[in-house]
Amino acid sequence: MRLTDYKALTFDCYGTLIDWESGMVEALSGLTARVPGLTRNRVLEAHARHESAQQRQTPTKRYVELLPIVYKRLAEEWGVTASTDECEAYGRSVRDWPAFADTAGALQYLKKYYKLIILSNVDNNTFSYSNAKLQVDFDAIYTAEDIGSYKPDDRNFEYMLSHVGALGLEAGDILHTAESLFHDHVPANRHGLASCWIYRRFQDEGYGATMNPGEMPKVDFRFTSMAELAKAHQEALRAA
């Protein structure tokens, strides 16, 4: 199995291409400053719990409308008050979350060799702001808003697989590329997709803003950054 065996890379966006954890922590700073003793990982783990629960309960709610509920639940858990304006501002903050420094360059390189596809737990308008930071034209963008559910729901992968045929692709042509084991690699395994783990949190403990996936899923490739993936692809071409 080689990186050059695939025709398309399907990407999770937030956590893989966009540094959502830094974006979350910054956008939550006004709230967390009122709560003594919180560590970065405690904040992220609490966010993961509330976000995952809300996504299961209201799968058709747009991400920009779901995050204000997460903010409210965090405030309640930490015993502080949060105004409606604060909650709604947090929902809009995703548009300001930064791309990882290596993302745009790696995507521009990979675009020369693969079709690039987004499969993301986001709404379309919010993704448009993130897309501007990624600096590449994706061949297809499939969002939770389009699908009516959030990963790791099987419907998201079924939707993607039912649509990629229009791009001349089959499941075996795809390398699903993501950071989150919970949202992406576990369901990718269920659907028989090859997977590439961009292990952004390799220097940290726990799962951060994603839930514990339980049993470790199978991954076919593992890199700590998008730049490392691009470099490995260059090496694979030279070895061919």
Please give the chain's pLDDT, 240 residues, in tens: 899 999 999 999 999 999 999 999 999 999 999 999 999 999 999 999 999 999 999 999 999 999 999 999 999 999 999 999 999 999 999 999 999 999 999 999 999 999 999 999 999 999 999 999 999 999 999 999 999 999 999 999 999 999 999 999 999 999 999 999 999 999 999 999 999 999 999 999 999 999 999 999 999 999 999 999 999 999 999 997
For residue 240, what pLDDT is reported? Answer: 75
- Secondary-structure breakdown of the chain: helix, strand, coil percentages, each rounded to the nearest 5: 50, 10, 35
Distance, CA of 48 to CA of 54 (rounded, Å): 10
Q: Where are the domains positioned within the chain?
A: 3-19+99-239, 21-96
Which of 5, 12, 123, 146 is flagged as catalytic?
12
For 166, counting Cβ atoms within 10 Å of its Cβ (0-12 exposed, 13-18 middle, 19+ buried), the class is: exposed
Are residues 133 and 99 in contact, defined by beta-carbon separation less than 8 angstroms? yes
21-96 maps to CATH 1.10.150.750: yes
For residue 182, what pLDDT is reported? Answer: 97
Distance, CA of 161 to CA of 176 (rounded, Å): 11
Per the annotation, the verdict on 154 as an active-site residue is: no
User: Which CATH homologous superfamily contains domain 3-19+99-239?
Assistant: HAD superfamily/HAD-like (3.40.50.1000)
pTM of the full structure: 0.95
